[in-house]
Structure 1
Amino acid sequence: MSEGPILVTGAAGFIGMHTAERLLARGETVVGIDNFNTYYDPALKEARAARLQAREGFRLVRADIAEHEQVLALVRDQGIKRIVHLAAQAGVRYSLENPFAYERSNLAGHLSILEAARHAEVQHLVYASSSSVYGDRPLEGSGFREDDPTVTPVSLYAATKRSCELLSQSYAKLYGFPQSGLRFFTVYGPWGRPDMAYFSFTRKIARGEPIEVYGEGRMARDFTYIDDIVDGIVGVLDHPPAPGGHEVYNIGDSQPVGLMEMISTLEEAIGAEARKIMRPMQPGDVTATYADISKLNALIGYRPRVPLKEGLEKFAAWWRGYENG
Structure 2
Amino acid sequence: VVEDTRRMSLVMSPDEIARVQYIEGDITDGASFTRTAGHLGISHIIHLAGLQVPVCREDPIKGAMVNVIGTLNVLETARELKGQVQRIVYASSGAVYGMEEGYGSGLVSNDAILKPLTHYGVFKQCNEGNARVAYLDHGIVSIGLRPWTVYGPGRDFGLTSDPTKAVKAAMLGREFVINYGGRNNMQYVADTAEIFIRCTQADYEGAEAFSIRGDVVTIDEVIASIESVIPESAGLVTHTTTEIPIAADLDGSRLENDIGEIAHTPLDDGIRSTYEIFKSCHEMGNLDLSDLDA
* Partners of 2:116 and 2:258 in 1: CA distance: 27
Runs of 5+ consecutive residues of structure 1 not aligned to the other structure: 1-33, 37-41
Q: Please say if residues 9 and 17 of structure 2, whose CA atoms lie closer than 8 Å, have aligned partners that are also in contact.
A: no
Structure-2 separation of matches of 1:214 and 1:112: 34
Per the alignment, residue 18 of structure 1 pairs with none
Residue 250 and residue 310 in structure 1: after superposition, are their counterparts in 2 closer, same or farther (change >3 A)?
same
Compared CA separation, residues 169 and 321, structure 1 to 2 (3 A)? same
What TM-score, normalized by structure 2, do the two folds share?
Answer: 0.84
| 1:279–1:293 CA distance, 2 compared to 1 (3 A) | closer
Q: Is the 8 A contact 2:97 2:113 kept in 1?
A: yes
Task: Specify the SS of the correspondent of 2:117.
Answer: coil
Shift of 1:100: 3.3
Equivalent in the alignment of 2:29 = 67
Give ranges in structure 2 of 5+ residues lacking alignment: 287-294
Q: Does 1:258 align with 2:222?
A: no
Matched residues in 1 for 2:157 and 2:117: separation? 23
Q: Against the structure 1 CA distance between its residues 322 and 94, is the aligned structure 2 distance closer, same or farther, given a 3 Å change threshold?
A: farther
Cα distance in 1 between the residues matched to 2:13 and 2:23: 15
In the TM superposition, residue 316 of structure 1 has moved relative to its aligned partner by: 0.6
Match of 1:317 in 2: 276
1-side partners of 2:28 and 2:120: how far apart?
Answer: 17
* 1:170 counterpart residue number: 133
Residue type at the aligned position of 1:304: A
Partner AA of 2:98 in structure 1: G
Q: Are the structure 2 counterparts of residues 145 and 199 from structure 1 closer, same or farther at C-alpha, using a change threshold of 3 Å?
A: same
Deviations 1:69-112 (A, max 9, x none): 1101011111222111111112x234322333312221121111
Matches within 5 A, 1:1-325: 34-35=1-2, 44-45=6-7, 47=9, 54=16, 58-90=20-52, 92-121=53-82, 122-138=85-101, 141-150=105-114, 152-195=115-158, 196-215=161-180, 217=181, 219-239=182-202, 241-242=204-205, 245-253=206-214, 255-271=215-231, 272-275=233-236, 278-281=239-242, 285-286=244-245, 288-323=247-282, 324-325=285-286
Partner deviation per Cα, 1:253-282 (whole Å, 9 max, x = no partner): 1x3011001011112223312345553427
Partner of 2:145: helix, strand, or coil? Answer: strand
**Alpha-carbon shift at residue 58 of structure 1 (Å):** 3.5
Contact conserved, 2:2 with 2:22, CA < 8 A, in 1? Answer: no
Query: Partners of 1:172 and 1:123 in 2: how far apart?
Result: 12
2:255 aligned counterpart, secondary structure: helix
Change (3 A) 1:47 1:278: closer
Question: Residue type of the partner of 1:319?
Answer: F
CA, structure 1 residues 194+319, in 2 after alignment: closer, same or farther (shift >3 Å)?
A: farther
Aligned-pair identity in percent equals 23
Judge which range, 109-118 or 287-296, deviates more. 287-296
| Distance in 2 (alpha carbons) for counterparts of 1:131 and 1:246 | 17
Can you list the C-alpha shifts for 1:40-74, whole angstroms capped at 9, x where unaligned?
Answer: xx663474798587457642212111111110101
How large is the RMSD of aligned CA atoms in angstroms?
A: 2.6
CA contact (8 A) 2:97 2:247 kept: no
- Cα separation, partners in 2 of 1:210 and 1:60, compared to 1, 3 Å: same
Q: Residues 46 and 147 (structure 1 numbering): CA distance in 2 closer, same or farther, change over 3 Å?
A: closer
